[in-house]
Amino acid sequence: MIKKTLSIVLPLVGLGFAIWWVIVTARQPMAAPPVSPPAESQFDRRIAGAGLIEAATRNINVAPPLPGLVTAVFVRENDVVRAGDRLYQIDDREQRARLVSAEANIVRAEAAVSTAKADIANGQEAIRSAQANLKSARANVMALEAQLADAEQIVARNEKLYAAGDVAERVLISSRAARDAAQARVAQAQAQVTQAQAQVTQAEAQVRSAEARLQEAEAQVGVLRAQRAELAVNLSRLTVTAPQAGKVLQVNVRVGETLPMTPTTPPILLGDTEYLQLRVDVDEINAPRIKPNLRATASLKGDATKTVDLEFVRIDPYILPKRSLTGDNAERVDVRVLQVIYRFKPPAFPVYVGQQMDVFIDAE
């Protein structure tokens, strides 16, 4: 009898417990109240978007123009720099050595220029001297030719007188000897003219050769000076400076690190924070409703009581895939957005570059 009763009661008890358990577990848990109230818009017709704070000049990645070892870092986060201030230094020992070598090569080339100029001056002096010798030799030939003409006239006259018996034979022989001597002197003088002309030609050739060497040396000096200027520019680029005034937002480089030409992480992140810029992502569905100069407000995520009024800057005319706001630039979500740029003066409460804000745009 007891067994029969238990066989009926126990299933009923199990069924009742199962029903009670289903009822209890099916109750909805009470939602916890939010830490802060959600952001609300003051506009009746509004477009909502998520904004990312940037520097007014956008965030500037100051990467090295040349790869190399970092030997010094001159700034820290929150430092305010002016255009041209040093940020960090790349090892420049090799560039300095190459610059010294270039200077030495320029000195050697300039010495070659000076030597060529001296050779030209000496050659021109030699030309003047040879031309003077040539002029003197030609004048001597003319004088000796005049003497030869006189001697030939005397011989002709003595031959007639000797034929007439008016002069002795020795007088005729003496006049002929004088004529022959005059002819020899003329021949010697003409040889001197030829020699002086050859000296002039040789001196002119030496001058032309020196002028060619001078042109080559001057061209070499120009090439070496251009190389020195290039090395000096590269040397100056190894001292990385601020391209414009702003605040140092990030310093991701340390002494002893080797930086490539295109580092994945910006060594120095710089931006002008006198004004802050808000890059608002608006879903492409709402893009037709966006117009220039629409009013907008933004509030901090997590504290909707802190709001700022925004000033319209521009609309970027390209709808692009939205970047995920997880911090990884490679991540994307399956939506395209129109980016609207606003700006605002840093408020009394703290805001930071890279911070997200909730944005409401007046769509009236």
Fold of 67-90+239-265: OB fold (Dihydrolipoamide Acetyltransferase, E2P) (2.40.50)
DSSP state for residue 33 in the 8-state scheme:
P
Angle formed by the axes of helices 93-164 and 169-237, nearest 10°: 170
Q: What is the maximum span of the chain, computed from C-alpha positions, in angstroms?
A: 206
pLDDT on residue 29: 61
Contact 78, 251 (CB under 8 A): no
Contact 273, 312 (CB under 8 A): no
Residue appearing with tokens 């992480």: 265
pLDDT on residue 296: 92
State the span(s) of the chain assigned CATH 1.10.287.620. 94-237
Where would I find the beta strands (DSSP E) of 200-295?
Answer: 239-241, 246-251, 258-259, 268-271, 276-283
Q: What are the tens digits of pLDDT across the range 244-286? A: 998 999 999 999 999 988 888 889 999 888 889 999 999 888 8
Tokens representing 224 are 């070496």
In the predicted structure, residue 340 carries a pLDDT above the cut 90: yes
Spatial separation of the C-alpha atoms in residues 215 and 212, rounded to whole Å? 5
State the span(s) of the chain assigned CATH 2.40.50.100. 67-90+239-265
CATH superfamily of 94-237: Helix Hairpins (1.10.287.620)
Residues 6+ apart with CB under 8 A from 338: 281, 282, 283, 284, 286, 287, 290, 315, 316, 319
In the predicted structure, residue 330 carries a pLDDT above the cut 80: no
Task: Please name the amino acid found at residue 9.
Answer: V
Q: How many residues does the chain have?
A: 364
pLDDT on residue 13: 67
Helix (H) or strand (E) holding 187: helix 169-237
In the predicted structure, residue 88 carries a pLDDT above the cut 90: yes
User: What are the φ/ψ torsions at residue 16 (nearest 5 degrees)?
Assistant: -65, -40
- Which whole number is the average pLDDT over 325-333? 52
Residue appearing with tokens 């909707």: 304
- Cα 235–238–243 angle (5° rounding)? 115
- HSE-up of residue 346 (Cα within 13 Å, Cβ side): 13
pLDDT on residue 106: 92
Which residue would you say has higher pLDDT here, 147 or 20? 147
Spatial separation of the C-alpha atoms in residues 39 and 47, rounded to whole Å? 13
Q: Look up the pTM and report it.
A: 0.63
- HSE-up of residue 127 (Cα within 13 Å, Cβ side): 13
Q: What are the tens digits of pLDDT across the range 187-209? A: 888 888 888 888 888 888 888 88
Distances (CA, A) of 226 to 102, 116, 234: 10, 21, 12
